């Protein structure tokens, strides 16, 4: 990842992060919206060498169970 402008970064451990979003519901909602949008973009553009159904078929052939 590369910043496109001067940035100040904040590092939080999990407990501090949960505390922050508990105190700032608008921030929590914004982070959820951004994460959902990025996940949707990622899902729409992600391609791999092997499709998901091919992986599942290979798993079935090798193990008779799907993990």
Question: Taking the domains of the chain in order of start, what are their residue ranges?
Answer: 14-46
Q: Do 21 and 28 contact (CB within 8 A), yes or no?
A: yes
Write down the pLDDT at residue 65: 47
Contacts of 50 (CB under 8 A, 6+ apart): 58
Residues of the chain with pLDDT under 70: 43-55, 57-67
pTM of the predicted model over 0.85: no
Contacts of 12 (CB under 8 A, 6+ apart): 20
């Amino acid at each position: 990842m590369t910043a496109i402008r001067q940035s100040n970064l904040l590092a939080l451990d999990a407990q501090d992060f949960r505390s922050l979003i508990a105190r700032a519901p608008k921030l929590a909602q914004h982070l959820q919206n951004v994460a959902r949008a990025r996940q949707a973009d990622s899902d729409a553009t992600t391609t791999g060498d092997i499709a998901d159904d091919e992986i599942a078929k290979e798993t079935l052939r090798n193990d008779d169970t799907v993990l």
